[in-house]
Chains A and B, each alone.
Chain A
């Protein structure tokens, strides 16, 4: 796991932690079943308060990325659980919207775009 905190960032520190962990889970850099460092350990390693890391983990849990298991700590959940799937879906839609917008720039027909899509599949 890689977390880099910036004090100049617009994002509050808890959000920086959350986003970076989320990104790495979605990109497969942190595998399912991985046990994350405890909130206290992470707080110490980053030199931030326990409340900050607690909030980051709570939000990751609420969004379905991790689950906390009593006595074991916070564990990265399976990537096919519905909440994470939702996040992937959002990403796919965004990428496709991007492609469609680009196609419109050169006035490509829907038909032609569909062909490209089929071919790539």
Chain B
């Protein structure tokens, strides 16, 4: 059973089009939605959360489309972005008030306990919160109610490493029971790379690849060598070639590594290195 199903999702703007986005995220897994700024990440997430309306395609959360029951659909989603979406002058108690009115499953005591655990000040207005406090407040609002899908839109941007680590743990806690899933968008994958099960790579509004991180990691190798080893065969297969006066490096598919000279160094690339090589290739 899938927490999230997206089929043939499309959205056209004057200067940009999101085209035929399809993905399935099974229950209990974490998916990274990766791409450059302007690739269409936020557009996709806005369509999933129904903050924008799609031109075409279907989105199902826990098997249900938005039109079937808009209130329940929204209730199933927890959404966090890099800005605070609560009104500036609100305090934590005001936030509690609107969440209580808006969501049926919202539990006040759970919310207050989380706020206490994370040392969120009761009297301070959210505009005076630090980035770390803001994101904790948004998480408290979500974890205090029943959701199925946690959506993070560039939520870790500008956070200090300690808070980032904390979020990593929140996300892994979230999927512990195997019933809920996480979809997070980012342009700096290294933040969350370790815990992602799936990676969806988006470029110019289109899918480049979507697979488990394990498959992706095994499919590619980072090759480095001297200029003599950069044969014609290697040049043809290599992605994101970087040539200097003393050598070269780039990404090749593991199956193609037979054509690489033994003098070269082969290493496991990070997902970031793979993504950057792809982008370089597509642009170059």
Contacts and interface: CB of A to CB of B under 8 A. Distances in A.
Interface of A: 12, 14, 40-41, 43-44, 47-52, 55
A48 B195 contact: yes
Interface of B: 28-30, 168-169, 172-173, 175-178, 194-198, 212-214, 217-218, 268
A44 to B, nearest CB: 4
B168 A12 contact: no
Contact of B28 (A14, A41, A48, A50): A50
A49 B178 contact: no
Contacts of A52: 213-214
Contact of A50 (B29, B168, B218): B29
A48 B175 contact: no
Contact of A49 (B169, B176, B197): B197
Contact of B194 (A12, A14, A40, A48): A48
B213 A44 contact: no
Nearest to B212: A51
B175 A49 contact: no
A62 B249 CA distance: 38
Contacts of A43: 172, 195
Given A40-B28, A40-B176, A50-B29, A14 B214 contact: yes
B176 A41 contact: yes
A36 to B, nearest CB: 16
A55 B28 CA distance: 15
Nearest to A10: B268
Nearest to B30: A49
Contacts of B176: 40-41, 44
Contacts of A41: 176
A62 to B, nearest CB: 16
A51 B196 CA distance: 9
Contact of A12 (B169, B175, B218): B218
Nearest to B32: A49
A44 B172 contact: yes
Contacts of A40: 28, 172, 175-178
A40 B29 CA distance: 10
A40 B169 CA distance: 12
B214 A50 contact: no
B198 to A, nearest CB: 8
Given A40-B28, A40-B178, A51 B214 contact: yes
A68 B212 CA distance: 23
B1 to A, nearest CB: 15
A47 B172 CA distance: 8
B191 to A, nearest CB: 12
Given A40-B178, A49-B194, A51-B197, 5 more contacts: A43-B195, A47-B194, A49-B197, A50-B29, A50-B175
A12 B29 CA distance: 20
Contact of A47 (B29, B195, B213, B218): B195
A55 B214 contact: yes
A49 B196 contact: yes
Nearest to A48: B194
B169 A44 contact: yes
A49 B168 contact: no
A120 to B, nearest CB: 44
Lowest 3 A-B CB distances belong to which pairs? A44-B172, A49-B197, A51-B197
